[in-house]
Amino acid sequence: MNPILHTLAGAQRNLVHLLRISIFIVMAWIGGLKAFQYEADGIVPFVANSPLMQFFYSKDAPEYQQYKNPEGKTVTKNIEWHKANRTYLFSYGLGTVIVLIGLLALAGIWWPGLGLVGGLLTFLMSLVTLSFLITTPEVYVPNLGGDFPTPHYGFPYLSGAGRLVLKDVIMLAAGLIAASDAAQRLLQRRDSSFIKKPVSQNE
């Protein structure tokens, strides 16, 4: 057991770098998908209901509910509505920002200053995403009725969208860990430079 403990303890820095790579993979993949219609349509309920982001759209919630495009299906009238809503324009911009955050987090492997920024931005982005649990009705199972009434709707019964949002708790922590490691490396570099600095004869 001791060799395993020592190996894990000694691998901490490399594991934090693995965390940075993981953040980059998630950010690059999800951010890249924002360039596609189905993903842009999918984030509309989150953005339209968010007090922090709804101003990016031209249409107010809940109008979007009449123009939902199921994944894998394209409805022309819905596409036109989303164009007028600035759905795709916003999604392109958001995707670019997400990919850039992922790149900053990844850069922390070599440049702790960039990694600090990337980690903090990952934390802030996750914080905004988690706010959707408060602002977006679609994150909870709706009461659609049926032959057998069920109490399993509303809070705390997360829908598929809600379960995806909740996972950002992990990204939030990952961002802080990456930022903390980068800050530690920056301080170590500063302290090392101070120690190596020659002392003048007048001191």
The answer to the question of residue 58 being in a domain is yes
The answer to the question of residue 125 being in a domain is yes
pLDDT at 2: 84
Structural domain including 175 reads: 2-196
Q: Please name the amino acid found at residue 100.
A: L
The answer to the question of residue 133 being in a domain is yes
Nearest to 158 by CA among 137, 144, 172: 137
Q: Yes or no: say if 174 and 127 are a contact pair by the CB < 8 Å rule.
A: no
Bond preceding residue 149 cis, omega within 30 of 0: no
The answer to the question of residue 169 being in a domain is yes
- Report, as ranges of residue numbers, the positions in the chain whose pLDDT lies below 50: 203
pLDDT at 107: 97
Residues 123-141 pLDDT 10s: 999 999 999 999 999 999 9
pLDDT at 151: 76
The answer to the question of residue 203 being in a domain is no
Structure-token pair, residue 85: 């809503």
The answer to the question of residue 202 being in a domain is no
Q: What's the total number of domains in the chain? A: 1
The answer to the question of residue 201 being in a domain is no
